[in-house]
Amino acid sequence: MEKAQGKLTSDNHASCSGVAALFGASPYETKNEYLDSRIRARKGENVRSEKNIYAEMGNILENPILEITCEKLGLSNLEKNITTPVLHEEYPLGGSIDGIAYCQNNLITPDDDIIYTEDDKPIMLDGKGILEAKATALMPEADGKPTLWRGLLQVKALMAITGYSWGCVSTIYRSTLFKMFLLRRDFAFETKLKEVILDFERRITAEDYYPPVTLKDTQIMFPEPVKAKEIELDNDAASTYLDLIYTADEQIKALSKAKENAQIKVQELMGDAEIGFNKNYRVTWGSRTFKAKPEKIVPAKDGYTIRNKTITIKKIEHEEGGKHDN
What pLDDT does residue 163 have?
97
What pLDDT does residue 311 have?
52
- pTM (two decimals): 0.79
Q: What DSSP string describes 184-249?
A: E--HHHHHHHHHHHHHHHHHHHHT-PPPP-SHHHHHHHS-SPPTT------SHHHHHHHHHHHHHH
- pLDDT band at residue 323 using 50, 70 and 90 as cut-offs: very low
- pLDDT band at residue 1 using 50, 70 and 90 as cut-offs: very low
Cβ atoms within 10 Å, residue 95: 26
- pLDDT band at residue 233 using 50, 70 and 90 as cut-offs: confident
What pLDDT does residue 242 have?
87
**CATH 3.20.20.100 is held by the domain 14-206:** no
Residue 188 scores a pLDDT above 90? yes
Please check whether residue 214 is in contact with residue 30, taking contact to mean a CB–CB distance below 8 angstroms. Answer: yes
**Residue 148, class by beta-carbon neighbours within 10 Å (0-12 exposed, 13-18 middle, 19+ buried)?**
middle
pLDDT in tens, 70-117: 999 999 999 999 999 999 999 999 999 999 999 999 999 999 899 999
Instruction: Please state which of the ranges 49-53, 166-170, 315-319 shows the lowest mean pLDDT.
Output: 315-319
Domain layout of the chain by residue ranges: 14-206, 260-319
- pLDDT band at residue 326 using 50, 70 and 90 as cut-offs: very low
Please check whether residue 37 is in contact with residue 47, taking contact to mean a CB–CB distance below 8 angstroms. Answer: yes
Nearest partner of 279 among 237, 246, 240, 318, judged by Cα: 318
Q: What is the mean pLDDT of residues 156-185?
A: 95
Give me the chain's average pLDDT, please: 89
